Amino acid sequence: MRLYNTRTRSVEELEPLDRQQVRMYVCGLTPSADAHLGHARSFLFFDVLRRFLIFRGMRVTFVQNVTDIDDRSIATAQAEGVSWREVVNRYFGSFKASMRRMHVLEPDVEPRATGYITPIVAMIEELIRRGFAYVAPDAVYYRVKAFPRYGALAHRNLEELMIGARIEPGEGKQDPLDFALWKFAKPGEPEWPAPWGAGRPGWHIECSAMSDALLGVPFDVHGGGLDLIFPHHENEIAQSEPLMEHPPMANFWVHGGLLEFDGRKMSKSLGNFEPLSALLDRHDAQAIRWLFLMTGYRKPMNFREDAIAGATVALGRMYDAYDALRETPPSDDDSRPAGSVKAYRERFVAALEDDMNTAGAVSVLFDLAGSARDLIAAGAASEAAAFLHEAMSVLGVSPNERTLPRRPPTVLSARSLDVAGKPFALSGPQDPELPGELVAQLRPLVEPAVSLNGCAPREAVERTILARAAAKARRDFASADDLRRALAAVGITLVDTKEGATWSLSH
């Protein structure tokens, strides 16, 4: 498969460094406040990437860290008069509950920074020994200008980075670009022993130390949100690669696009979000996953809550199609075309192999759902149901784990009619809830080709379908397409069958 590699700014073939095993490290949560939907988008994408690699026969070792000690969690604890561990456990517990609701697979390893103090200290000691770090009165700092490739991941040079950089009062760094590897403890703060003085790790060093300890370097994929490219991932590279005989630290750097709210990044600092758990209380978790799947993972996405309603309906249609296929009795007809579902499977896999094009993969499944009646008529229902179940499981919306309430099957009424001297079976909902204004909306789209004078909504729909069938019979396909589009414009979905056509009301 091919993935976009931030390191090289190109889409490249993902070839595991260790045959059929993919080693993946994803930057996880800093549980100093409630997780929000922007976090969910990133973790959902890497969950689907992991699922697809497993689907393609790979063994995946998936590590996702927890930054369980940082300035914000300490500040929150001090403000509330509780321990920093209580703050971390509260917010991390809520986050994990939300991930379970969204059916995100558990990481193989989920290390906490405070559990890896020993390798963190050892890495800092080696950086000091090699001249890449130094001890100052307030902290141990990384010496950025000692690493010539600094800025390469973000494609920024040192001159650009120096713009606006400064040394804050009380900081002992030698250069404005230098960053803290180890912060000496202030009164009342948590601390761990180290050769240069008790304190705690800076943000960036934990990921360098833990990825090396758990995966070894180099490894295959390092992931995170787009906002982590600089400074976090840039700093990881600067810490890790001077200690490596054969860089790079990670073969692929993969970043998901940001989630925006009203055109602005959704983040804690802007305050334009609500807790993820609260959003999941109002909306189906799988529908939110489906909404994200319909947008490319690298693209920015402007979130609107009303879009979840549309995703809920769309996902419901997929489950309806699966139920119809699964509940169709097995066919004894061996005359169906060989591999009638094979093309759908090949297109689905090809979409995901092309830089995880989840929108394209979802489109394939919609095509299959729209052809469910034809597949049933062709005796391919069982084959189609098996593929649809497998594909939806790859996307994390397995029918077996659905949280949307199952809708009762639509009762169809059928009539045998005559079009151009041939029988035409027309099926539709027995008691459709058609809007009263449908005729007024449809009339300007179909007249004068179809007269709707005096028609009730259902009659207007069926008269238009029959007119379309007549146009197809006389090979006037342009007019037939126009009438199909007119029906779609007023919310009518039309499925052609061997015997005629079936229509339904789109939600």
CATH annotation of 20-282:
3.40.50.620
- Residue 503 — φ and ψ, nearest 5°? -120, 155
- At residue 262, the pLDDT reads 66
Classify residue 80 as exposed, middle or buried by CB count within 10 Å of its CB (0-12, 13-18, 19+): exposed
> Structural domain boundaries of the chain?
20-282, 294-401, 412-505
H or E element: which one contains 70? none
Left if phi > 0, otherwise alpha if psi is -120 to 50, otherwise beta: which for 490?
alpha
Based on the number of CB atoms within 10 Å of its own CB, is 446 exposed (0-12), middle (13-18) or buried (19 or more)?
buried
Q: CATH classification of 294-401 is 1.20.120.640, yes or no?
A: yes
Cβ neighbours of residue 458 under 8 Å, at least 6 residues apart?
428, 432, 434
Q: What is the predicted pLDDT for the residue at 334?
A: 47
Q: Are 428 and 504 in contact (CB under 8 A)?
A: yes
How is residue 293 written in tokens? 């799947």
CA triple 238-239-241, angle to 5 deg: 70
- Give the per-residue pLDDT at 99: 97
Neighbours of 182 (CB within 10 A): 25
The predicted structure's pLDDT at residue 506? 64
| CA atoms lying within 13 Å on the CB side of residue 462 | 20
Bin 239: left if φ > 0, else alpha if -120 < ψ < 50, else beta: alpha
Average pLDDT per run of 10 along the chain, which is 507 residues long? 97 93 97 93 97 97 97 94 96 97 97 98 98 98 97 93 89 96 95 97 97 98 96 98 97 95 66 85 94 93 84 88 86 56 96 97 92 86 95 97 74 68 81 80 90 88 92 91 89 80 74
Task: Measure CA of the first residue to CA of the last residue in the chain; give whole Å.
Answer: 36
